[in-house]
Every structure is written in C-alpha cells, then in structure tokens.
Amino acid sequence: MSKDSPEPIELDEQYATLLPKAERFAEQLASQLQQLIRQHGFTLPFPIKWRVKSWESLYEKISSGRADPPITHVQDFVGLRIILLFKRDAEQICNLIRRTLNVLRSYDTTNRLDPQEFGYLSSHYVVRAPGAWLALPSFAGLDDFQAEIQVRSFAQHLWASASHLLQYKQARAIPRDIARSIHRVSALLETVDLEFERVLQQRDTYRSKLDNLESDEPINVDVLARTLDMLWPADHKVEDERYAFLVERLQSAGIRTQTQVTALIRKHRAYVLEESARRATEIRDAAERYGVRDGKIEYQDGDRHVSSLVDGDTLDRVRRGIFYSHVALTMEALTRECPKNSKS
C-alpha cells in the first residue's frame, strides 16, 4: 500500500459504508443484464451470479499494490459471471455487452496463454451501467460503481471451477506426474466447445432447408421450431418452448409431417389467436381487480372458485394481449382438430 493510501481502519469504514450499495448495484446490474439477454433470444443455463469482494480479499489486493483506492474503482470490487451453454452464445453476449454497457476495459484470458499452456478461458469486461439504467429508481445513488463481468461457455466454466478447486491454475503448480492428465482434460473441454459449434452449424444448415411449409419432412424439434416460427406471431414465442412434448402429441394424433402441421395451424389459426387474446384479457382484468398474492390470482366467479398461477413474465405478456406460447397455440389447434388424441 502506498503512503498516500488510506489506513486499514479508514478503508474498513469505507467498505462497511459501501457494501450495501455495492450489493444493490450488483443485483440490479445482474437483473438488467438477465432481461437484456432474454430480450435478445438467448437462454441462460444458470442465473447470472454476482458477488461483492470480501473485505479481507479487498484489503489484501490494495495493500499488495495490485489495486488502488477508491474502493469503488477496484476493478473486481463488484463481480458478475455469465455462463452460456455454447461458445457461440458467449461470443454474442460479449458483443451485446460492448454495445449496451459503458466498457472501461476488456481482455480475453485466451490471449494470455501460449499454445502449449492451459488455463481457464473467459472474456472479461470492466463496465459501468449505461445512462438509461442509472436513470432507473433501482440504480439511484449508484453512479460511481463499476463491475467486472466474466463471460464463459459451460465447458470453460467447468474447467475454471475444477482448476480452482484443485488449485491447478498454472502449470508450475501441478505435480509432474499429473500434468499430462491435466493437459488432456483441458484439451478435451476445448474440444467440447468445438464439437458443439459443429452441431450448431449442422442444425443451422438443416433448419435453413425447412422454409417450404408444404414439405413432407417428418416432424422433429427442429422442423417444429422453424414451422411454428413462420406460422405464429413472433411475440407469442417464449424462451422454453416444449417442442419435444409437442412432437409426441402431434404424432399420437397422426400428424407426422411438416405439411400436416402447416395445415392444422392454418385451419385453426384465427380462432386460436382470438382465444389467446381473450384469455390474456381475462387474466389481466382479474389481476387488476383482485390483485396477485403469492404468485396467484384467486377469486370467486359465482359458484366457481378461480385460481391462476402467474409470474412477472405472464403478467407482462397478458398486458400485451398474449397468453399462449407457440407450442400452446399449436396444442389449442390440435385440441380443436381432435380433442381425444390431444389430451396429455
């Protein structure tokens, strides 16, 4: 610690004062990023993790000269971690971060490694929240905070977690007899990312051939995803559409090709969309009239007790006049076409 740095007691007092604000900043930043990522159509296998550096770790970093006060400007005082299933998604999230947040610094740990070396790979961004987010009431008084965001694929995260637990982050820390095995594990995990990318490319090529809605292609999850995207409004689609479930229901009803799915949807499309809007209006009006308690709307409708489970996403959708997802719209069409076979 330099002679101009605050004394430990002074730093401790600053830390105690800043900690609640730092935790609120981390939580709100993670929440906004989560919404942003979902709005752009990405699925997170895990919620965004955040943490505020402990006092012991922060003091050790400042006293060793690896960081300088003020505390709010220590690069990783606030840290977030975003894990994506695929390396391709991780790269696109990095682009999203660069476009949306105020990036102060960035680096990629891949660039630190020689070809013969191994280590955990991830992209790092030191950021401030954009002005539009800082204007929100939830960010009030948090203008001076910054955060370090790590973005990794799942395979990269698996290696980082294992190497941290084993304390094998650097080659010189590894017993000679174990080094060969560790290198092999590192290479295998990197291969996982490459092979997943190959699978995604093959899927993209396959889906690009499905634009002919009148084809006799047997239905599968990719055929359904592409077909439903073309036939239903985009704003009805949800993050976790249950395509595999729908394949089973359609096949049990004797609907086995893309042409048959197309005919089913076109036949009942107008009615089903009207039904979705009607249900949305019903739930929206009930929420406004009776309120939402513990994630449920409950009320008495004559002799009928009505209880509907709702969450924030559902309320947002019904306020926009949307109730059914793509799969649910198709299931409603199937129910009208053949009620007995569509029952689960």
Domain 8-190 has CATH 3.30.70.890: no
The pLDDT assigned to 106 comes to 93
Contact 152, 133 (CB under 8 A): no
Q: Which of 1, 118, 119 is nearest to 63 (CA)?
A: 1
User: What φ, ψ does residue 63 adopt, rounded to 5°?
Assistant: -70, -25
pLDDT tens-place values along the chain, 344 residues long: 545 555 778 888 999 999 999 999 999 999 999 999 988 888 888 999 999 999 999 988 888 888 888 898 899 999 999 999 998 999 999 999 999 999 999 988 766 555 444 455 689 999 999 999 999 999 999 999 999 999 999 988 887 777 666 655 555 666 777 777 777 887 888 899 999 999 999 998 988 888 888 888 899 999 999 999 999 999 999 888 999 999 999 999 999 999 999 999 999 999 999 999 999 998 888 888 888 888 888 877 677 887 888 887 888 899 999 999 999 999 999 999 987 655 54
Tell me what pLDDT residue 160 has.
77
The ranges of the chain annotated as CATH 3.30.460.10 are 8-190
Q: What is the pLDDT of residue 171?
A: 57
User: What DSSP assignment string belongs to 258-272?
Assistant: HHHHHHHHHHHHHHH
Question: What CA–CA distance (Å, rounded) separates 240 from 224?
Answer: 14
- HSE-up of 136 (CA within 13 Å, CB side)? 12
pLDDT at 293: 84
Which residue(s) pair with 306 in the sheet?
299
What is the distance between the alpha carbons of residues 150 and 29, in angstroms, rounded to a whole number?
13
Contacts of 324 (CB under 8 A, 6+ apart): 236, 272, 275, 276, 279, 332
For 94-129, b where at least 16 C-beta lie within 10 A, e where not — what string? bebbeebbeeeeeeebeeeeeeeebbbbbbbbbbbb
181's tokens = 């095995």
Which pLDDT score, from 0 to 100, does residue 114 have?
A: 53
Greatest distance between any 2 Cα atoms in the chain: 81
Alpha-carbon gap, residue 65 to 309, rounded angstroms: 53
The confidence score (pLDDT) of residue 115 equals 47
Q: CA torsion 142→54→151→186, rounded to 10°?
A: 170
For residue 172, what pLDDT is reported?
62
Contact 182, 118 (CB under 8 A): yes
Q: What is the pLDDT of residue 135?
A: 95
Neighbours of 6 (CB within 10 A): 15
The pLDDT, as a whole number, for residue 84 is: 92
Using an 8 Å Cβ cutoff, are 149 and 199 in contact? no
Q: Could you count the other beta carbons within 10 Å of the beta carbon of residue 278? A: 12
- β-pairing, 78-84 vs 147-153, is parallel
CA distance 340 to 326: 21
Q: How far apart, in Å, do the first and last CA atoms of the chain sit?
A: 67
- Written as one string, the DSSP assignment of 147-187 is EEEEEEEHHHHHHHHHHHHHT-SSGGGS-HHHHHHHHHHHH
